[in-house]
């Protein structure tokens, strides 16, 4: 039977934190890695785990699922396109995400045209077709977007301000994993995550937010999910493991953040850190 692992490659936010890179994760199924978001520096985080997971080597990364097009989730996209090509990727990238992803991809290839042409015209051992990227923009209704003999990936629409955004449900022979990306609390999350092996979800401290300005309070309640709201989701969804990512602490500690969840939720919950494996 296939062995499925979750590798957290970035658990941070747009706030600059050397301990927490911006959003990125990988679902590794045997010899293949399925990326979820590609925040800046994710490839260097992945490199730290290549001895354990050969699938995370730059040349082996072929699949990426983008939740939404905020820069903290996509600024590593040039790394994925270019570094994998430079390191010897032999097959096209397959990248899935919201509308606008094709335009982003096209613009990046134009932006790095000087670099690409320089490498093509040198003695570097790169694919002479240049970096190849197949973009799959997801219909707003979501549904199954990828399927093979081992892995099924279903996209479902989430809410994150005005941006089109998706969560993803990965079903493999041994696990069901749901990653919501950035979202407010939604019934669809409960439906998709019901009884799953792992629910990966953004969170902010409900206690800490009360110390913020009224403007920031409005912003975060319209974009993301509080500890109280996430606890309510987990109570109904009953995941075997709840993994907190994209944590907004607002001055509280990691232990305090977990304690806020545990006030009402008694299931297994961890606060994810970069390079954690589950």
> Residues 66-76: pLDDT tens digits?
999 999 999 99
Token couple for 130: 């240049």
Q: What backbone torsions phi and psi does residue 230 show, to the nearest 5 degrees? A: -70, -35
Q: Which residues on adjacent β-strands are paired with residue 239?
A: none
Q: Is residue 255 part of a domain?
A: yes
Question: Does the pLDDT of residue 2 top 90, yes or no?
Answer: no
Q: Is residue 32 part of a domain?
A: yes
Q: Following CA atoms 86, 21, 69, 29 in sequence, which dihedral angle do they give, to the nearest 10 degrees?
A: 70
What average pLDDT does the chain have? 97
What percentage of the chain reaches a pLDDT higher than 90? 96
| Strand-by-strand arrangement of the 63-65 sheet | 4-10, 24-29, 32-38, 63-65, 93-97, 133-137
What pLDDT is stored for residue 121 in this prediction? 95
Is residue 186 domain-resident?
yes
E-state strands within 11-161: 24-29, 32-38, 63-65, 93-97, 133-137, 143-147, 152-160
The CATH number given to whatever domain includes residue 243 is: 3.60.15.10
User: Token digits for 184?
Assistant: 């407010």
Counted residue by residue, the chain has a size of 278
Q: How far apart are CA 150 and CA 172, in angstroms?
A: 6
Q: Summarize pLDDT for 224-267 with one digit per residue, the tens.
A: 999 999 999 999 999 999 999 999 999 999 999 999 999 999 99
CA distance 202 to 190: 14
Question: Which range among 43-47, 108-112, 195-199, 219-223 shows the weakest confidence by mean pLDDT?
Answer: 219-223
- H/E/C letters for each residue in 78-114? HHHHHHHHHCCCCCCEEEEECCCHHHHHHHHHHHCHH
Cβ–Cβ under 8 Å, residues 24 and 38:
yes
Instruction: Output the six-digit token pair for 101.
Output: 């992803």
Residue 254 has what pLDDT? 97
**Tokens of residue 89, six digits:** 């990727």
Asked whether residue 11 is domain-assigned, the answer is yes
If one counts every other C-beta atom within 10 angstroms of the C-beta of residue 158, the result is 26
Task: Tell whether the model's pLDDT for residue 17 goes beyond 80.
Answer: yes
277 assigned to some structural domain: no
Phi, psi of 254 (to 5 degrees): -60, -40
Count how many domains the chain has. Answer: 1
Two tokens, residue 214: 């009224």
Residue 125 is predicted with a pLDDT of: 86
pLDDT tens readout for residues 172-203 = 999 999 999 999 999 999 999 999 999 999 99
Cα distances (angstroms) measured from residue 180 to each of 125, 201, 277: 38, 6, 18
Q: What is the mean pLDDT of residues 24-46?
A: 98
Percent of the chain with pLDDT over 70: 100
Average pLDDT over residues 48-65: 98
Instruction: Confirm whether 276 is domain-assigned.
Output: no
SS3 at position 3: coil
Instruction: Please report the pLDDT score of residue 1 as a whole number.
Output: 74
Which token pair is 193? 């995550």
Q: Does an H or E element contain 209, and which?
A: helix 206-209
pTM given for the model: 0.97
With residues binned 3-state (H G I as helix, E B as strand, rest as coil), the percentages for the chain, rounded to 5, are 30, 30, 40
Residue pLDDT, tens place only, 122-172: 998 898 999 999 999 999 999 999 999 999 999 999 999 999 999 999 999
The CA-based angle 155-160-166, given to 5 degrees, is 10
Q: Which two tokens stand for residue 100?
A: 């606008």
Q: Which domain holds residue 226?
A: 4-271
Q: What are phi and psi of 18, to 5 degrees?
A: -65, -15
């Amino acid at each position: 039977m296939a062995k499925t692992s979750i590798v957290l490659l970035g658990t941070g936010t747009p706030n600059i934190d050397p301990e927490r890179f911006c959003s990125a994760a990988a679902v590794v199924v045997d010899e293949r890695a399925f990326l979820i978001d590609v925040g800046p520096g994710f490839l260097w985080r992945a490199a730290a785990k290549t001895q354990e997971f050969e699938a995370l080597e730059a040349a082996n990364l072929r699949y990426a699922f983008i939740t939404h097009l905020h820069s903290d989730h996509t600024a590593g996209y040039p790394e994925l396109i270019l570094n994998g090509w430079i390191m010897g990727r032999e097959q096209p990238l397959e990248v899935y995400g919201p509308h606008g992803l094709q335009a982003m991809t096209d613009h990046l290839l134009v932006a790095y045209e000087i670099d690409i042409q320089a490498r093509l015209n040198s003695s570097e051992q790169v694919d002479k077709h240049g970096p190849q990227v197949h973009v799959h923009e997801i219909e707003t209704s979501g549904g199954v977007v990828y399927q093979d003999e081992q892995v099924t990936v279903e996209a479902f629409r989430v809410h994150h301000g005005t941006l089109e955004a998706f969560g993803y449900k990965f079903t493999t022979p041994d696990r069901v994993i749901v990653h919501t990306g950035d979202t407010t609390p939604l019934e669809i999350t409960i439906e998709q995550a019901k009884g799953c092996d792992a629910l990966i979800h953004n969170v902010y401290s409900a206690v800490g937010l009360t110390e913020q300005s009224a403007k920031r309070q409005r912003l975060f309640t319209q974009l993301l999910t509080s500890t109280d709201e996430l606890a309510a989701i987990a109570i109904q969804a009953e995941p075997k493991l709840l993994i907190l990512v994209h944590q907004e602490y607002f001055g509280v500690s990691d232990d305090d953040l977990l304690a806020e969840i545990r006030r009402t939720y008694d299931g297994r919950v961890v606060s994810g850190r970069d390079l954690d494996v589950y």
